[in-house]
Amino acid sequence: MKSILVESEKLELIERINKLTKDTMPFWGTMSVSQMLAHCTVSLQLAFGEIIPELNEKFLQIGRQVKDRLFESEMFTKNVPTTKEFLVADNKDFENNKFILIEYINKYSLTDINDTKMAPHPYFGDMTVKEWGMLIWKHTNHHLSQFGV
């Protein structure tokens, strides 16, 4: 599984993000491109503990069951519901949302692989730096594919 902790794989995502325009339309789903960028930033904010998820034992139980298979493919299934932390209303500033996402990706790529202070995920609970790096890559890849880049 690719990861934003691998420089070439991180740069691939950033290159794709930079191909987006404020008028890029999704192939599926209801988010605008600006909302998608803000939505992808949430996963990084969660990893850094800047957003504290509401941990729901039902979601965590399901997440623990599927976590082993999480990194078997590079894409999520289309139109999968998300937790409230990932719901984004921000549809205003495409360029700023793009800048912020790239800044967070770059910041995360500098994270020490041995750091044990990563925040929990709302579905998967405790995750390592490596797991977060792969999940962020997978999540961002999924949404960039949603917008055709």
Q: Which of 42, 47, 27, 64 is nearest to 121 (CA)?
A: 47
Residue for token pair 């904010």: 45
pLDDT value at residue 41: 96
Distance of CA 116 to the CA centre of its chain: 19
First to last CA, the chain: 19
CB 8 within 8 A of CB 140: no
Confidence band for 133, pLDDT divided at 50, 70 and 90: very high
pTM for the structure as a whole: 0.88
Domains and CATH numbers, the chain: 7-146 (1.20.120)
Distance of CA 25 to the CA centre of its chain: 19
Q: Which of 57, 47, 60 is nearest to 111 (CA)?
A: 47
pLDDT value at residue 83: 60
